[in-house]
A and B are shown apart, each in its own frame.
Chain A
């Protein structure tokens, strides 16, 4: 699984980096950012799916 954040949709709710802090982080403004290339380690799959489902802006997408 690999994820990306659409920065035009993200408004900085900050839930992704709370739910899955190894895959998402915050920038200086509190917006979410993907750590590295966005490839999700197997152990973080549930946390990332949770983050994806809970983003109020629908800004996180799963890449092929």
Chain B
């Protein structure tokens, strides 16, 4: 058999900020590419192999480098430890567990949209996508919504630390980030002390009150809270921002959705397929492994590129088109296998509520002239810095 050709791609130079579809197209030319820190798995079958064989492609090894001060339960673990955390947490995030939150969260979304309508314009990221997921977190944890801005500040500091990897952030910013992370850590420690042993309906109280064999330690509980902050807030924010950007720039799709809100679930999936906000899932091989005909030594870093796998032409017809009527949409934006996003049902609910209530009230909007939404890059996640929208019919140009 001929040796497969493995292209080498400098990911830092990809045109992700303004032309991410072009970047994904470049990466999609081969199912496996060499990148700066190892390999990019981009074919859907190859990504599936990586994500469904956690004993060969380890998460624990991959997350060692993140340098989190607390164990990121269960993200940075492999089975069987990971299985235990997963079994404990899953019931709190199942569709039937989150359904009772729907009316409250819908009311919160409407409360965020109303002032935007009054203004006639917004930065969608700052005014809606960035704050709603934080409110959802506070609601789940039984914390007052007026802590929202404090949490946004803490979250940004912690995410800034991990995004920069400690290497590129300037000293003052890094120091401030550490300071804020320490504040969040202290706050969560105190909260855990307060909630343990007390009855409560919120997720944190319920998790803390689990008896043996599921009882978790304070350290595990803090890791869990950090995980919710790291995995649950900016992901939904970025998915919403990127999805709204596509809609704002595509009159036909926007009109189709606004005219038929029953399309919201299908549109949510399609926009998620095109723009997974956490499109890079890192793993490290535990032994020699073969991927797409290439033999990799133990210790090789292989990253699943979900946005590219979601555009695999063998799986999706016209993969670069936005199509709310795909008969099959087996996208893997929530990952697959044992680490499939624990919060996917909650994330879907949040997105459904925003797309539905927004388009019910704001059928027309467009990117504010003179502004250009840009994806921050290079970074471990994909999202817009800002998305300035003007409400109403776009004037003819």
Report which A residues bind B (CB closer than 8 A).
11-14, 17-18, 26-30, 50, 53-57
Contacts and interface: CB of A to CB of B under 8 A. Distances in A.
Contacts of A54: 328-330
A18 B94 CA distance: 13
Nearest to A18: B265
Contacts of A30: 90-91, 93-96, 345
Contact of A26 (B96, B328, B329, B344): B96
Nearest to A50: B327
B338 interface: yes
A53 B327 contact: yes
A50 B328 CA distance: 7
A2 to B, nearest CB: 21
Nearest to B87: A29
B340 A14 contact: no
Interface string B331-344: 11010111010001
A53 B329 CA distance: 8
A11 B337 contact: yes
A29 B94 contact: yes
A53 B328 CA distance: 6
A49 to B, nearest CB: 9
B20 to A, nearest CB: 22
B94 A28 contact: yes
Contacts of B90: 12, 29-30
Contacts of B338: 11
Contacts of A57: 336-337
Contacts of B337: 11, 57
Nearest to B52: A57
Sorted nearest first, the 10 A-B pairs with minimum C-beta distance are A30-B94, A29-B90, A11-B340, A53-B328, A56-B330, A28-B91, A56-B336, A26-B95, A54-B328, A29-B91
Interface of B: 87, 90-91, 93-96, 265, 327-332, 334, 336-338, 340, 344-345
A61 B344 CA distance: 23
Nearest to B330: A56
Given A12-B94, A26-B95, 12 more contacts: A12-B340, A14-B95, A17-B95, A28-B91, A29-B91, A30-B90, A30-B345, A53-B330, A54-B328, A54-B329, A56-B336, A57-B337
Nearest to A52: B328
A50 B87 CA distance: 28
A10 to B, nearest CB: 10
Contacts of B94: 12, 26-30
Contacts of B95: 14, 17, 26, 30
11 contacts: A11-B336, A12-B94, A13-B344, A14-B345, A28-B91, A28-B94, A29-B87, A29-B94, A53-B327, A56-B330, A56-B331
A61 to B, nearest CB: 15
A39 to B, nearest CB: 24
A17 B96 CA distance: 12
Contacts of B93: 30
A56 B336 CA distance: 7
A14 to B, nearest CB: 6
B268 to A, nearest CB: 11
A54 B265 CA distance: 14
Nearest to B86: A29
B302 to A, nearest CB: 20
B319 to A, nearest CB: 16
Contacts of B336: 11, 56-57
A52 B143 CA distance: 40
Nearest to A10: B340
A3 to B, nearest CB: 16
A13 B340 contact: yes
B365 to A, nearest CB: 28
A13 B90 CA distance: 12
B174 to A, nearest CB: 37
Contacts of B344: 13-14
Contacts of A17: 95
A56 B334 CA distance: 10
Nearest to B326: A54
Interface centre among A18, A27, A53, A56 (most CB of B within 10 A): A56
